[in-house]
Structure 1
Amino acid sequence: MRIAALWLLWITLLPADAAPDHPTDGHRPSSDRGSSDWPPSNRAPVACQTSQRQAYQRLQLNGVQEQGALRANNGSFSVRVDLHPPLQPPHRLRLLLDGKPHGAPGRGPRLHLSNLDRGLHRLAVQVLEGEQILQQSPEISFFLLRAHR
């Protein structure tokens, strides 16, 4: 608003003959008013490519510490997936346990693991689009403690 007021003030302070709205003596109005020297373009405008895949800046698992021990007497527990920016609509998250897919892909951010054997495991999360793997988190190694039966 302030800039508009200054602009108006500047225009009103111009001499009256600085920019007349009618032709002055010896000049005639242009017949091609509004035309451009640029030839028309035959090309369609370039569409913004929003479907381009951009990597998630942060993709990591929380709830399991690297080289940590986790007690789950029934072998079941949940992990949280931290990712930024938020998960895109066509994408799904899938856990990778010991190098193999574990469970069905989901939207997260909480994913459940069930009936794991005790011992050392490696865990990662993958971002999928359909069946294609777009990105994978670093693997976390952990030791699962489970009550002996």
Structure 2
Amino acid sequence: MPYWLMKSEPDEFSIANLQQLGTGRWDGVRNYQARNFLRNMIEGDLFFFYHSSCAVPGIAGIGKITRSAYQDPTALDPDSPYYDAKATTSKNPWDAVDVGFVERFSVTLTLPQLKAQPALSQMPLVKKGSRLSVMPVTETEWQAVLSLL
């Protein structure tokens, strides 16, 4: 699947940060289903960058995968908030991907805007109780989101 949506709290890592850096590591994912989605990403895949847990949650831009999944080093770092005491260098269950900046939207596409779109009704993001930080996006959903800009 070539399209994804990835959530980050903007005070942790935002689309503005990615724009400034150009590239970065997407790490700290500690949900097995979200981790499995990371493992399915390949270099060149595009993703919507979603700002969560903030004043205006929503899609703030687009990024791309620049390196497919590899062991997340934050799981092994005791000083990291994402440290996993059970992880070892030979058995680290957590993955990260590298991402690159593509586009920052002039406006954030808010969750209420997204929920109001019939073409997005099956998107995991808009379903009640969906809290995954990484999820697939279909071609139809991708185009429906872009049509809101």
| TM-score interval (norm. to shorter) | under 0.3
Q: Whose strand fraction is larger, Structure 1's or Structure 2's? A: 1
Higher percent of residues as helix: 2
Pick the structure with greater CA Rg.
1
Q: More relative contact order in 1 or in 2 (CA 8 Å, sep 6+)? A: 2
What TM-score, normalized by structure 1, do the two folds share? Answer: 0.25
